[in-house]
Chains A and B, each alone.
Chain A
Amino acid sequence: MAETARSFYDLKYIDTLSSLDSPVHRIDARAKLLTTGVFIVCAVSFPKHEISALIPYFLYPAVIVPAARIPARYLMERAAFLLPFAVLIGIFNPFYDREVVMSVSGIPISGGVLSFVSILLRFVLTILAALILMASTGFPGICSGLEKLKIPRVFSVQLMMLHRYLFVLASEAVRMARARQLRSFGGRGTGIATYGSLIGHLLLRTLNRARRIHTAMLSRGFHGEFHQGRPFRMRLSDAAFTAAWCSAFITFRFVDLPQAVGRIIMGAGS
Chain B
Amino acid sequence: MHMADAMISPAVGGAMWAVSAAGIAYCSRKIKNDPDESKVSLMGVLGAFVFAAQMVNFTIPATGSSGHIGGGMLLAVLLGPHAAFLTIASVLVVQALFFADGGLLALGCNIFNLGFFPAFAAYPLIYRKIMSEDATKTRLSAAVILSAAVALQLGAFSVVLQTKASGISELPFLTFVALMQPIHLAIGIVEGVLTAAVISFVWKANPLILDIPCRKAPENRIPVKIVAAVLLAATIIIGGFLSRHASDNPDGLEWAITRSTGKEELESTGNIRKLLASVQEKISILPGYGFQPAGAAAAPDSVSPETGTSISGIVGGSVTLAFVLILGFALKKVLGRQQDRVSDGPGHG
Question: What is A's interface to B at a CB cutoff of 8 Å?
Answer: 1, 3-5, 7-8, 10-11, 14-16, 20-22, 36-37, 40-41, 43-45, 47-53, 55-56, 58-59, 61-63, 65-67, 69, 72, 78-79, 82, 85-86, 89-90, 92-93, 95-97, 99, 101-105, 109, 111-112, 115, 119-120, 122-123, 126-127, 129-131, 133-134, 139, 142, 151-155, 157-166, 168-170, 172-174, 176-177, 180, 187, 190-204, 206-207, 209-211, 213-214, 217-218, 224, 254-268, 270
Contacts and interface: CB of A to CB of B under 8 A. Distances in A.
Interface residues of B, number: 117
Interface in B229-266: 250
Tell me whether chain B's interface is mostly helix, strand or loop, or mixed: helix
Contacts of B100: 78-79, 82, 127, 130-131
B283 interface: yes
Interface centre among A44, A69, A134 (most CB of B within 10 A): A44
B24 A174 contact: no
Given A4-B56, A154-B32, 12 more contacts: A65-B328, A69-B339, A69-B347, A72-B332, A86-B6, A126-B6, A169-B52, A190-B57, A195-B56, A210-B41, A210-B44, A265-B319
B217 interface: no
Interface in B299-349: 299, 306-317, 319-321, 324-325, 327-328, 331-332, 335-336, 339, 343, 346-347, 349
Given A48-B167, A101-B272, A210-B41, A155 B89 contact: yes
A142 B202 CA distance: 35
B290 to A, nearest CB: 8
Contacts, number: 397
A44 B9 contact: yes
A196 B197 contact: yes
Nearest to B8: A44
A95 B306 CA distance: 22
A133 B97 contact: yes
Given A58-B324, A119-B168, A214-B41, A200 B103 contact: no
Given A40-B105, A166-B51, A109 B272 contact: no
Interface centre among A89, A193, A257 (most CB of B within 10 A): A89
A32 to B, nearest CB: 12
A258 B319 CA distance: 7
25 contacts: A4-B68, A5-B55, A49-B275, A55-B320, A56-B324, A62-B324, A69-B336, A86-B6, A92-B170, A115-B170, A126-B103, A130-B103, A152-B25, A153-B28, A170-B55, A195-B58, A200-B202, A206-B46, A210-B44, A210-B45, A217-B41, A256-B279, A259-B309, A260-B289, A265-B312
Given A63-B331, A172-B52, A259-B312, A11 B98 contact: yes
Contact of A258 (B103, B313, B349): B313
B10 interface: yes
Contacts of A195: 56, 58, 194, 197
Contacts of B314: 52, 104, 262
A122 B324 contact: no
Given A52-B314, A123-B4, A102 B56 contact: no
A158 B104 contact: no
In the A-B complex, the 8 residue pairs with the closest CB atoms = A161-B44, A262-B316, A196-B197, A262-B312, A200-B201, A62-B328, A267-B291, A258-B316
A63 B327 contact: yes
B335 A210 contact: no
Given A103-B307, A122-B5, A169-B52, A115 B168 contact: yes
A185 B320 CA distance: 55
Nearest to A1: B57
Contacts of A207: 42, 45, 209
B136 interface: no
Given A69-B339, A155-B89, A93 B306 contact: no
Contacts of B163: 89
A162 B91 contact: yes
B59 interface: yes
A72 B333 CA distance: 13
Contacts of B132: none
A263 B104 contact: no
Contacts of B101: 82
B286 A260 contact: yes
